[in-house]
Amino acid sequence: MGVAAALGVKDHCGWAMLVAVAGEPGSPRVLLRERVSLLHDPTLPDQPFHAAAGLALDSARDLISRVEQCARTSAHDVLAAAVHRLNGAGHDVAGVALDLGAVGAGRMTLPDDLATVLSKHHYLHGAEGELYHEALMEAARDAGLAVSRYDFKELRDVAARLLGVGAVERVDGLRAQVGTPWTRDHKDAALAALLLLVDGRAA
């Protein structure tokens, strides 16, 4: 039986910060941290809804579909590689912690109609984020990993309540363990992973 670890992912359009942690809230350890591509094909736009906004609807739908497929493949490859590395180092991966995003957190409801989505700027941003969230969720579940989703806008408050304020400060201070860079993306991904290890909440 290996040592339990969890992956935290802070995703953006076309890329993500991935951090793996193990240990308890009082002594978290960073096992892996890397910036990964969620869109391996450089000919595709990382914001397909924005790129599709000026196209005919059929062309827009085709472009978005191609980016969705590439994102799913890329997310699968990224998570599979991370799990393989962690397993090889003697760790059992408990799951993947992801951001809820604006759509999943209930701050936005996307219309079912693509034409409407393409006509409103705030819908474009929501749809871009959800595309990558969905790709990561699908990839994690295909790999047999539990998925926990947290609202990263409230992540530090949630972590302070469930793990204690000291745990948040210790994650912030992990820069001393791993060196730079240790940005807000790294901290959020690590904190979400630590929450998954302790809280174990699956989406």
Euclidean distance between CA atoms 177 and 30, whole angstroms = 8
Query: pTM value?
Result: 0.93
- Contact at 8 Å (CB) between 124 and 53? yes
pLDDT, position 203:
43
Give, in order, the Cα–Cα distances in Å from 84 to each of 2, 90, 98, 130, 202: 13, 10, 19, 26, 22
The mean pLDDT of 102-123, rounded to a whole number, is 90
- Number of domain units in the chain: 1
Residue 152: name the closest of 197, 107, 92 by CA: 107
Residue 8: name the closest of 38, 34, 26, 27 by CA: 34
CATH of the domain at 34: 3.30.420.10
Which residue range forms the structural domain that includes residue 123? 3-199
- Angle between helix 155-163 and 184-199 (nearest 10): 40
- Contact at 8 Å (CB) between 6 and 21? yes
pLDDT above 90 coverage of the chain, percent: 89
pLDDT, position 158:
92
pLDDT above 70 coverage of the chain, percent: 98
The mean pLDDT of 160-183, rounded to a whole number, is 93
pLDDT, position 118:
97
